[in-house]
Amino acid sequence: MKRLLTYLKPHVFAMIVSLILTLFIIVLELYRPIIIGDAIDDYINSYYKPYAEVSVEDDTTISFRGKLYSKHFDEEKAHDFIQLFLCGDKYYLFHLDSLMKSEILSKYNEEAAVVSEDGTYVQVTLNGDAYKGELLSTEELEIIRTRDFEGINKSSVDYLLILFLSVICNMLSIYVLQRMGQDIIYEIRNQIFNHIHTLSVRFFNNVPVGVLVTRVTNDTESVNELFTQVLVKFFKNIIMIVGYAVVMLRINPRMTGYAFIMMPFVFVLTVYFRYLSRKAYRMVRAAITEINIFLSENLSGMRLIQIFTREDQKQEEFEVKNMKYYKASYRELMTFAIFRPSIYGLSVIALVLIMGFGGKFTLEGTLTIGTLYIFINYIKHFFEPIQELAEQFGTLQSSIAASEKIFSILDEKPDIVSPKNPVPIEGLKGEIEFKNVWFAYENEEYVLKDINFKIKPGEKVAFVGATGAGKTSILNLMGRYYDVQKGQILIDGVDIKDIDLDTLRGDIGQVLQDVFIFTGDIRENITLRNENISDADMKEAAKYVNADYFIDKLPKKYDEPVSERGATFSAGQRQLLSFARTLAYDPKILVLDEATANIDTETESLITEALQKLMEGRTTIMVAHRLSTIQHADRIMVMDHGEIKECGSHQELLAQNGIYKKLYDLQLATQE
C-alpha cells in the first residue's frame, strides 16, 4: 500500500480537491434531513404554538382581524393569545389570556374535546374553566399560517439548493477521481510495458504470455479501483459514520443509544465478510490469470490444434478452467449476496427500534416529529457507509493482490543490462572474436565449451552441425540476449559487456527463420515506426532485396493492411519483408538463422539474390541445416556437442573427410 500511494505524489492537488469536495458533500448530506426536520417542527407541525398580540410589525407578524400577532414574543409582557386546535380534520381558534393555558391546550387530547352538533365550535376545559374554540374558515386559516407557508417555501428552496450543490460536488468529485485514476493507471501500464522491454530473454522463456497480459490489463484495472473508489470513499464513509453519530448524539443521546443497539452485530458481520471476501477475491484473480494464459497459448496455436483435431479435448480443458472461474465468481457473488441483505436486515431492525421508541417519545411529548424524521432518515443512511466500508475492504484486498503481482513484474531485474560507463564505438568495422567462451542455459550444463574463433570485418562465416550443437546459442550470445559464464566476446576488440546494449543490438541485424510480422501495414513492418528511416529509404530497402516484387502488386502497396503475424503472406514474402526491415536499419553485422528454410520455390531465387545483396560489405554469420545454402561462405565451422570440431571452406572441409563430409553426403543421398 505504501508503494501504491507513491503514485499519488504527482496528483496531490487532485486528491486534495477531491477530499475537500467529499467533506463538502458530507456536510450537505448531513444537513438535508435537518432542513426537512426543522420544517416539520417549525412550520408544518407548529399549528399548536400560540400567537401573542404585538404592537410592532416585522417579518414574523401576521395581521388577523385588525390586530398584529406573532409566535415570537416576550413571555413576560405577552397577555393576549390566540392558538389553533386541530380536531379531526378541522382547525379551531382559541382566545386565551395566559401562556400556561396555551401550553395545556397544546398537549390536549382532541378526543376529550367536545364538538358542537353543527361543528362550528369545540369546547375544552383548562384548569376547570371551559373554553370554546371557533371553527376557522380556509381563508382565515391561510392568514394565520402565512408565515408557516413562507417558511415551507423557503425550506423547499434551501433543500433544492443543497440538493443541486450535492449533485454538482458529486459530479466534480467523480470527474477528478476518475481522471486521476486513469492518469495513474496510464502511468502504471506504461511503466510495466516499458519494464517488460528491458527484461531478458530468459524471463520470457519462463513466464507465459497470458500472465503478462493479465498484469498489464486486468491487474492494472483492479488497482484503478483503489484510486478511483476505495481511497476517497473509505475516507468519506468513515467521516459519514462519525458525522451521523455526532449529529444524532447532539440532537438526542437517548435515541442515538437505541439506534446503536445493532452495532455489535454489524461489527461481527463485517469482520467475517472481510475474511470471506478476501479469499473469494484471490480465487477470482487466480482463475482469471489461468484463463488468460490458456487463451493466449491456445489461440496462438489454433492451427496446430485444428491440424491434429484436438478441438474437443481443448474445449474440455477450457470448460474445466471456465468452471473454476465460474465457481470462484459465484462464491464472490454469494458472499455479497449474504452480506448486503444481512446489513440491510440489521438496518431495518434499527429503523423499527427508532420508529417504536421514537413514536412513544413523540406521543409523550419528549420528542418532536421533526426530530423523529431526522433520526429515521439518518438510520436509513447510517448503515450504507458501513456496508460500503466492508465491501471496500474486499476491493482493497483485490487491489493489493493485483498490485503485488504487478510489482513482482516491476521488481524483476533484467539479467542483461547496459554498462554504467559504456565504451563508445564509432565507425564499427565488424570484427568478432570469441575467447574461451563457456555458456550454459541452466547451472553448469554447458551447451558451448571453450569456443574460440575470430571473424574478420566483411567475412562471411557459417555454422553447421546437428540440432543442439550450439549454433543458435552463439548468435544469442553475440547480441547479449544471454551472457557467457566464462570467457569473452569482443567486437572490434571491445568486450560486448562494455558496449551500450542499444548500440550493440543496433549494429547487429538478425534475420530469423520464424519471421514475426506485426499487425498494421507493410510500411510499419519495415520501419517499425522508426522516424529516422525515411519513406524513400524504406522503399529503396524493399526494392534492393526484391520485396517490391510482390508489394507493388498489392492494392495499397506499402499501405496494404497486414493481419496478425502476416497470415495473408507466404513464408517467402514474410522473409523478404524481414530482409527489407534489416536493410532499412543498415546493420554492420548480419546474422542469418535458418533464413532460407521453408521457402517456397517461387520466391527462392528472389531470396537468394536478396541475401547476396544483403551480405555485401557486412560481416555475416550464418546458421543453416541445408549445406547448399552456405557453400559460398568464406569459412564454415562445424559444431558438435558445443565444440568447434572443424573449420575451413566448403572444399577444404570436404577434403578433410570428417563430420562435414558425412553431413554433406547424408544430405546429398537424401536429395537423390
Judge contact between 575 and 539, C-beta under 8 A.
no
Query: Do residues 403 and 546 share a domain?
Result: no
8-state DSSP, 559: G
pLDDT(671) > 60: no
**How many beta carbons lie within 10 A of that of residue 156, not counting itself?**
13
Domain around 8: 2-38+150-410
Cβ count within 10 A of residue 561: 12
Question: With 70 as the cut, is the pLDDT of residue 430 above it?
Answer: yes
Residues 545 and 624 both lie in one domain: yes
φ/ψ region of 450 (left if φ > 0, alpha if ψ in -120 to 50, else beta) reads left
Describe the crossing of helices 535-544 and 571-584 by its angle, rounded to 10 degrees: 130
Indicate the range of 177-181, 221-225, 624-628 predicted with least confidence: 624-628
| Distance (Å, whole) CA 651 – CA 661 | 10
Environment class of 545 (CB within 10 Å of its CB; exposed 0-12, middle 13-18, buried 19+): buried
pLDDT in tens, 324-356: 888 888 888 887 777 777 877 888 888 888 888
Terminal Cα-to-Cα distance of the chain (whole angstroms) = 69
Distances (CA, A) of 180 to 13, 14, 123, 223, 310: 10, 7, 69, 12, 47
Could you give the CA distance from residue 102 to residue 84 in angstroms, rounded to a whole number? 10
**Cα angle value 88/371/355 (rounded, 5°):** 75
Give domain status of residue 487, yes or no.
Answer: no
Task: Give domain status of residue 612, yes or no.
Answer: yes
Q: Residue 498 falls within a domain, yes or no?
A: no
Q: Are residues 112 and 165 in the same domain?
A: no
* pLDDT classification of 672: cutoffs 50, 70, 90: low
331 and 374 assigned to the same domain? yes
Phi-psi region of 104 (alpha: psi -120 to 50; beta: other; left: phi over 0): alpha
Number of domains into which the chain is organized: 3
**Res. 123: pLDDT tops 80:** yes
Distant-in-sequence, close-in-space partners of 453: CB < 8 Å, separation ≥ 6 = 433, 434, 461, 637, 644, 647
Query: Same domain, yes or no, for 259 and 343?
Result: yes
Q: What is the pLDDT of residue 346?
A: 81
Q: Kindly report the backbone phi and psi dihedral angles of residue 58, in degrees, each rounded to the nearest multiple of 5, phi listed first.
A: -150, -165
Predicted confidence band at 670 (pLDDT cuts at 50, 70, 90)? low
Cβ contact 120:134 at 8 Å: yes
pLDDT top residue among 50 and 269: 50
pLDDT-derived band at 110 (thresholds 50, 70, 90) equals low
> Grid coordinates representing 262?
445493532
Q: Other C-beta atoms within 10 Å of 410: how many?
A: 15
Q: Residue 165 — pLDDT band, cuts 50, 70, 90?
A: very high
Cα distance between residue 145 and residue 541, in whole Å: 93
Q: Is residue 451 situated within a structural domain?
A: no
Q: What is the mean pLDDT of residues 249-274?
A: 80
Residue 214, domain CATH: 1.20.1560.10
Residue 43 covered by a domain: no
pLDDT higher than threshold 90 for residue 160: yes
125 and 163 fall within a common domain: no
Instruction: Read off the pLDDT of each residue in 559-585 and give the average, rounded to a whole number.
Output: 78
* 352's grid cell: 423499527
Question: By CB neighbour count within 10 A (0-12 exposed, 13-18 middle, 19+ buried), where does 48 fall?
Answer: middle
Compute φ and ψ for 53, nearest 5 degrees: -70, 130
Scan for cell 565488424, then name that residue. Answer: 430
Are the CB atoms for 92 and 116 separated by under 8 Å?
no
Residue 492: inside a domain? no
296 with 170, same domain? yes
Extract the C-alpha cell encoding 568.
495473408
In a domain, 286, yes or no: yes
Residue 517 Cα distances to 521, 567, 568, 655, angstroms? 10, 9, 11, 42
Domain contains 488: no
In degrees, rounded to 5, the angle at the alpha carbon of residue 397 between the alpha carbons of residues 391 and 398 is 95
**pLDDT band of 164, cuts 50, 70, 90:** very high
Q: Which has the minimum average pLDDT: 67-76, 461-470, 603-612?
A: 603-612
Instruction: Choose one of 79, 111, 137: the last residue of a domain.
Output: 137
Please give the pLDDT value at position 168: 92
Give CA–CA dist 460/462, Å, rounded: 7
Helix (H) or strand (E) holding 413: none
Q: Are residues 570 and 519 in the same domain?
A: yes
Q: Is the per-residue pLDDT at 77 higher than 60?
A: yes
What own/partner pairs with CB < 8 Å and gap ≥ 24 does 318-325 have?
318/291, 318/294, 321/287, 321/290, 321/291, 321/294, 322/291, 324/287, 324/290, 325/284, 325/287, 325/288, 325/290, 325/291
Residue 556 has a pLDDT of 84
User: How many degrees, rounded to 5, is the angle at CA 500 between CA 494 and CA 505?
Assistant: 90
Do residue 187 and residue 67 come from a single domain? no
104, 137, 170: which is the final residue of a domain?
Answer: 137
Phi, psi for residue 291 in degrees, rounded to 5: -65, -40
Residues in the chain: 672
**CA distance linking residue 625 with residue 666, whole number of Å:** 12
In this prediction, residue 133 carries a pLDDT of 86
> If we measure between CA atoms, which residue out of 548, 592, 615, 211 comes closest to residue 405?
211
- Distance CA(575)–CA(482), nearest Å, equals 25
Domain containing 612 — which CATH number? 3.40.50.300
Of the listed ranges 19-33, 489-503, 561-575, 594-608, the one predicted with least confidence: 594-608
Are 171 and 257 found together in one domain? Answer: yes
Q: Which candidate, 116, 64, 106, 111, places its Cα nearest to that of 85?
A: 106
- Helical H segments across 263-368, by residue range: 263-300, 302-307, 311-364
Under 8 Å between Cβ of 406 and 219: yes
Handedness of CA 196, 198, 199, 205 (dihedral sign): positive
What pLDDT sits at residue 157? 93
Give the closest residue to 526 by CA, choosing from 538, 514, 510, 534: 538
The C-alpha atoms of residue 518 and residue 510 are separated, in whole angstroms, by 16
Boundary of a domain, candidates 137, 158, 192: 137
Cβ atoms within 10 Å, residue 453: 16
Query: Is the pLDDT assigned to residue 656 strictly greater than 90?
Result: no
In this structure, the answer to whether residues 166 and 119 fall within a common structural domain is no
**pLDDT range class, residue 642, cuts 50, 70, 90:** confident
- Integer CA distances (angstroms), 135 to 86, 87, 93, 115, 567, in order: 10, 10, 6, 10, 94
- Which segments of 145-230 does DSSP mark as H helices, in order? 146-198, 201-206, 209-214, 220-225
Q: Of 312-321, 581-590, 624-633, which gets the smallest average pLDDT?
A: 624-633
DSSP 8-state symbol, 412: P
Highest mean pLDDT out of 259-268, 279-288, 491-500 = 491-500
Q: Looking at the structure, tell me whether residues 578 and 526 fall in a common domain.
A: yes
SS3 assignment, position 231: helix
**Range ranked top by mean pLDDT from 134-143, 211-220, 513-522:** 134-143
Which positions ≥6 away from 295 have C-beta within 8 Å? 210
Handedness of CA 388, 390, 393, 398 (dihedral sign): negative
Query: Which residue type is seen at 323?
Result: M
